[in-house]
């Protein structure tokens, strides 16, 4: 998902000002010189911090304008302090703030730059858990006149000639005082760059947080730009930098998150000893523990929940437990300011401590868990330490081909520690009750539904997809929207398309999505000569143009819970042909499409491409009949029925109303009573310890096999049509003789 530079932090103030004194653990230092133009967005960023235990020292560096701005904020928040000096420059202003600070963690923040809401909390945690690191920093965003993402790994050698660090980081005051703070001998030079070099020269090292936490405003008026444009200033600055660069050891390494996997540690989970609580709690607090924030049906459900839960009643924190690019992070940021991707700033052995820190500081009322193996295995330890906490989980499906049941299995095993389980279809509910012996009253079907206002044919322009692939209006479109993964049986879709074409049907199959089998699927389509039958749209953020141009949506998965694409398609008045898996038949029936019997065994057919001819024929026959011109009246009736079915029973508004009612019952009702003695406590710790070690070993195995995966991908490319052409071209140009 492309990064959206318009979604800047601080567009509005989300948290109230604090009037009463609070403990101070971090000092933010901001030089201020005639900075009113962008200052209020920076102000919002600071007040919105999820870690409220800070002081904000603003040093007025002899401003000649906007004096009323600083006077206005002086009494707005007890954490703000205003200092004044003659115009001595940014370095001197920062030093003055550092001298007046009351803590050992200093965060320089310019008056026009931005930080995400969790910046202080991430920084505090990383320095706390890495006492040997003298500063920590995040990835950054350049925005306004120049837009870019800045995600560079640390290199002391490269820092000698290229400043890949930004001005904002969390620095130990003791390290700053050791080098004398910022060099204020000159007022116009790259003082930030020199500071990092001076710190390295003193023998210290940083920690690099893998979060986009800092937004650097790029303007032509900025000091860095002025220094570069002025030859005299640039020469002066370069001389200072070169002098400092000669003093550093190029071998200094940073702590880089996510950490490399170190196994055989077997650390006992630690309970956070942090004693402070977020002040002025007035809402119900929900902690959601998820694996990641990626494109997918389960993630879209999570997004709908945080989007539509009543913000006047609920505060939400999200923790993710699996290393991921989190490509949907910005979508979740719109509704949840507190998001913590633990692998990006925490050692896996410290996950229990951080989770308990959140539970304690937020006084959490409800833990909502979905698809996080780590959290399931931590549940006994959590319930032992937080007996008044309500716990629920959401299970999307049972998966017999994966870990003997997938998340349904862990939900069943840890049912003694879960107050209520929600499932997206009745079939999964019956599995939990009949196979895992769950009590019926502890498992409830909660249909995910769809946002019927967003997915509406009235809001969507027709013809975009036909124009994208130059498809004639007379050609029916069969939409195949999914992750290209064995679970979705994409190669069955190819067989169906091939057989339909043999019958003389001109249908165009449009594949929307990406995944691990996309490359191989494209190669197969090319080898079979189906390039004019099957088209690839790649990953799309908005599927509405595809649904509205499609004649029918095809879902031929080996396994589903209840596919969100089925909900979306019906809301857009597009019939659905689906395999009879999971809860698909609870939504799809003959009035809105068709359900095809699954003729492969789920538990041993993952990526089995020996499809039963009877099953292939069933799809082809249904599609041929539905796409026939003779059946237009029947087709029109199906389309009309589709949206009505959603509005009557399957909208997200119905889902949210139900889930809010359920949350209130859980929070106000009795909790699972689980009694432990001292021996049990050690056993609970061992659950968490062993599973953490398992995660570390699994990550280590992936790291070891990564070169093999790369080799296999190169072989696949070499064997493809274009790969063969490139190889022939290389030999023709005699490039092979250059590599001997």
Q: Do residues 727 and 718 lie in contact, with contact meaning Cβ atoms separated by under 8 Å?
A: yes
593, pLDDT greater than 70: yes
pLDDT for the residue 716: 54
328, pLDDT greater than 50: yes
Q: Do residues 642 and 525 lie in contact, with contact meaning Cβ atoms separated by under 8 Å?
A: no
337, pLDDT greater than 90: yes
pLDDT band at 138 (very low <50, low <70, confident <90, very high): very high
Give the rounded percent of residues in the chain with a pLDDT score beyond 90. Answer: 77
User: Taking all residues of the chain, what is their mean pLDDT, rounded to a whole number?
Assistant: 92
Mean pLDDT of 328-346: 97
pLDDT for the residue 631: 76
- The whole-angstrom separation of Cα 471 and Cα 704 is 46
Strands 135-144 and 170-172: what pairing? antiparallel
188, pLDDT greater than 80: no
3-state secondary structure of 137: strand
- The whole-angstrom separation of Cα 511 and Cα 508 is 10
For residue 92, the tally of other CB atoms under 10 A from its CB is 22
Helix axes 373-385, 351-362, angle to 10 degrees: 50
Strands 390-395 and 443-445: what pairing? unpaired
Most confident of 130-134, 684-688, 693-697: 130-134
Give the rounded percent of residues in the chain with a pLDDT score beyond 70. Answer: 92
Most confident of 66-70, 569-573, 725-729: 569-573
pLDDT for the residue 709: 52
pLDDT band at 14 (very low <50, low <70, confident <90, very high): very high
Q: Give the list of residues 6+ apart from residue 738 with CB closer than 8 angstroms, or none.
A: none
Q: The pTM is what?
A: 0.88
pLDDT band at 725 (very low <50, low <70, confident <90, very high): low
Mean pLDDT of 274-290: 97
For 542-590, the pLDDT digits (tens) are: 999 999 999 999 999 999 989 999 999 999 999 999 999 999 999 999 9
Supply φ then ψ for residue 96, to 5 degrees: -65, -40
pLDDT band at 68 (very low <50, low <70, confident <90, very high): confident
514, pLDDT greater than 60: yes
**b/e burial code for range 312-340 (CB count within 10 A of at least 16 → b):** eebbbbbbbbbbbebbbbbbbbebbbbbb
Least Cα distance to 122 among 136, 108, 109, 133 occurs for 136
285, pLDDT greater than 90: yes
Stated as kind and residue range, the H or E segment containing 233 is helix 231-245
Most confident of 23-27, 86-90, 261-265: 23-27
pLDDT for the residue 734: 63
pLDDT for the residue 675: 64
Q: Do residues 191 and 245 lie in contact, with contact meaning Cβ atoms separated by under 8 Å?
A: no
Least Cα distance to 226 among 181, 191, 184 occurs for 191
What's the burial of 693, exposed, middle or buried (CB within 10 Å: 0-12/13-18/19+)? middle
722, pLDDT greater than 70: no
- The whole-angstrom separation of Cα 618 and Cα 496 is 9
More confident: 686 or 55: 55
Helices (H) and strands (E) counted in the chain, each on its own, are 26, 23
3-state secondary structure of 539: coil
pLDDT band at 740 (very low <50, low <70, confident <90, very high): very low
| Tokens encoding 174 | 């003791």
Tell me the domains of the chain and their CATH numbers: 26-256 (3.90.550.10), 284-449+660-693 (3.40.50.2000), 464-650 (3.40.50.2000)
């Amino acid at each position: 998902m492309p990064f959206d530079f318009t979604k800047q932090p601080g567009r509005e103030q989300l948290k109230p000002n604090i009037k009463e004194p609070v403990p101070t653990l971090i000092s933010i230092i901001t030089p201020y010189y005639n900075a009113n133009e962008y200052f209020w967005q920076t102000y919002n960023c600071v007040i919105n911090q999820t870690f409220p235990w800070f002081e904000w020292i603003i040093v007025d560096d002899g401003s000649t304008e906007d004096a009323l701005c600083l006077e206005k904020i002086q009494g707005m928040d007890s954490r703000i302090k205003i200092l004044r000096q003659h115009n001595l420059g940014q370095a001197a202003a920062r030093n003055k703030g550092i001298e007046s600070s009351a803590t050992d963690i200093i965060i320089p923040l310019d008056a026009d730059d931005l930080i995400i809401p969790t910046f202080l909390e991430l920084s505090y945690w990383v320095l706390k858990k890495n006492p040997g690191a003298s500063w920590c920093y995040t990835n950054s965003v350049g925005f306004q006149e120049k837009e870019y993402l800045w995600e560079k790994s640390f290199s002391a050698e490269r820092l000698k000639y290229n400043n890949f660090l930004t001005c904002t980081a969390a620095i130990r005051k003791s390290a700053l005082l050791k080098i004398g703070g910022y060099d204020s001998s000159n007022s116009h030079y790259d003082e930030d760059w020199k500071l990092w070099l001076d710190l390295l020269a003193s023998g210290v090292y940083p920690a690099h947080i893998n979060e986009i936490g800092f937004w650097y405003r790029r303007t032509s008026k900025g000091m860095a730009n002025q220094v570069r444009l002025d030859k005299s200033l640039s020469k002066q600055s370069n001389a200072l930098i070169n002098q400092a660069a000669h003093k550093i050891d190029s071998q200094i390494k940073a702590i880089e998150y996510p950490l490399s996997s170190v196994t055989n540690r077997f650390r006992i989970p630690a309970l956070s000893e942090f004693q402070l609580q977020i002040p002025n709690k007035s809402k119900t607090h929900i902690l959601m523990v998820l694996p990641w924030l990626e494109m997918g049906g389960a993630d879209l459900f999570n997004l709908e929940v945080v989007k539509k839960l009543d913000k006047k009643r609920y505060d939400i924190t999200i923790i993710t437990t699996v290393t991921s690019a989190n490509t949907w992070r910005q979508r979740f940021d719109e509704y949840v300011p507190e998001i913590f991707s633990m692998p990006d700033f925490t050692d896996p052995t410290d996950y229990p401590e951080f989770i308990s820190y959140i539970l304690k500081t937020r006084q959490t009322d409800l833990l909502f868990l979905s698809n996080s193996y780590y959290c399931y295995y931590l549940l006994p330890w959590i319930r032992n330490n937080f007996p008044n906490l309500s716990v629920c989980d959401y299970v999307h499906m049972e998966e017999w081909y994966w870990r003997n049941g997938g998340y349904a299995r862990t939900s069943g095993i840890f049912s003694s520690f879960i107050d209520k389980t929600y499932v997206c279809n009745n079939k999964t509910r019956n599995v939990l009750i009949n196979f895992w012996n769950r009590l019926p009253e502890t498992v409830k079907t909660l249909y995910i539904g769809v946002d019927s206002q967003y997915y509406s044919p009235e809001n969507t322009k027709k013809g975009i997809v036909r124009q994208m692939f130059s498809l004639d209006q007379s050609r029916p479109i069969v939409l195949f929207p999914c992750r290209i993964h064995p679970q979705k049986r994409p190669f069955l879709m190819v067989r169906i398309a091939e057989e339909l074409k043999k019958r003389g049907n001109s249908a165009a199959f449009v594949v929307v999505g990406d995944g691990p089998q996309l490359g191989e699927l494209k190669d197969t389509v090319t080898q079979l000569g189906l390039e004019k039958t099957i088209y690839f749209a790649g990953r799309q953020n908005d599927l509405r143009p595809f649904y509205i141009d499609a004649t029918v949506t095809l879902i031929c998965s080996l396994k589903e819970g209840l596919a969100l694409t089925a909900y979306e398609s019906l809301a857009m008045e597009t019939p659905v042909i689906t395999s009879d898996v999971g809860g698909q038949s609870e939504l799809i029936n003959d009035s809105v499409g068709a359900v095809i019997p699954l003729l492969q065994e789920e538990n041993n057919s993952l990526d089995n491409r020996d499809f039963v001819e009877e099953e292939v024929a069933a799809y082809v026959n249904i599609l041929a009949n539905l796409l026939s011109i003779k059946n237009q009246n029947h087709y029109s009736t199906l389309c009309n029925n589709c949206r009505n079915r959603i509005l009557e029973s399957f909208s997200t508004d119905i889902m949210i109303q139900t889930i809010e009612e359920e949350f209130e019952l859980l929070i106000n009702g009795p909790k699972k009573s689980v009694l432990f003695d001292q021996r049990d406590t050690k056993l609970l710790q061992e659950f968490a310890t062993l599973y953490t070690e398992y995660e570390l070993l699994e990550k280590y195995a992936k790291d070891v096999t990564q070169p093999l995966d790369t080799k296999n991908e190169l072989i696949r490319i070499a064997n493809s049509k274009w790969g063969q052409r490139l190889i022939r071209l290389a030999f023709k140009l005699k490039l092979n003789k250059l590599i001997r």
